[in-house]
Amino acid sequence: MSHLVIALDGPAASGKGTLARKLAKHFNLALLDTGALYRAVGWSVLNDGGDPTSEKDAVKAAKNMGNIDLSNRELRTESIGAAASKVASMPAVRQLLVDFQRTFADNPPKDKDGTILDGRDIGTVICPDAQVKIFITAEVETRAKRRFLEEFGPKGTDQQYLNILADLKARDERDMTRSTSPLKLAENAHLIDTTNSDIEAVFEATRKYVSSVA
């Protein structure tokens, strides 16, 4: 593969999305937020009055994803994140999304110098041969605080924060212990802990790392 492929993985609200956008811009890469695919499946199941733990409902939604707007802000809520994590634990759902992700990784548009995908299994399963693998994480309380501010802003209540914290812990547990494509550190992945760093510092360190290996 001649173009650059960056595989970026990490747990919920670790800062993957923001870092992925900054790296994509800096290195002129096409970006795929693979979490949006699973969120779209979860959203579609709920929207049709289905059950995200039912494989039948989830597979039906995954087969009919063509019309869903992946940039819809509704997909970003923590309740859709929870539904996404339930459908994402099903091998049949993951299988339906694999080809789309690999085709994206392998075929950057002509005006781009490569691709970047962010998710949970990019470095381990989707793009095991990616030149650059990054695993970004932070303590769960820090991640919950970031997601809480994103979703409720400065007027959010303590109870809303505690609900988000509980949801993230449940999601991490589900994502790390499922039998198919669990979230784990890929071999050769560069580990970044963002608990005590702001996004600019994280971006700067990652930019240097990518430039040194790519």
Residues in contact with ligand CDP by CB under 6 A are: 12-13, 16-17, 34-35, 38-39, 81, 84-85, 88, 119-121, 171, 175
By beta-carbon proximity to ligand CDP, the closer residue of 52 and 114 is: 52
DSSP of 162-211 = HHHHHHHHHHHHHHHH-SSS---PPTTPEEEE-TT--HHHHHHHHHHHHH
Contacts of 14 (CB under 8 A, 6+ apart): 136, 137, 138, 143, 194
The token duo for 211 is 């430039």
CB of 180 to ligand CDP, least distance (A): 9
Provide the 3-class DSSP secondary structure of residue 135. strand
By beta-carbon proximity to ligand CDP, the closer residue of 39 and 190 is: 39
CB of 42 to ligand CDP, least distance (A): 8
By beta-carbon proximity to ligand CDP, the closer residue of 153 and 208 is: 153
Q: Count of CB atoms within 10 A of residue 178's CB?
A: 18
CB of 70 to ligand CDP, least distance (A): 10
By beta-carbon proximity to ligand CDP, the closer residue of 117 and 210 is: 117
The token duo for 76 is 């970003």
CB of 22 to ligand CDP, least distance (A): 15
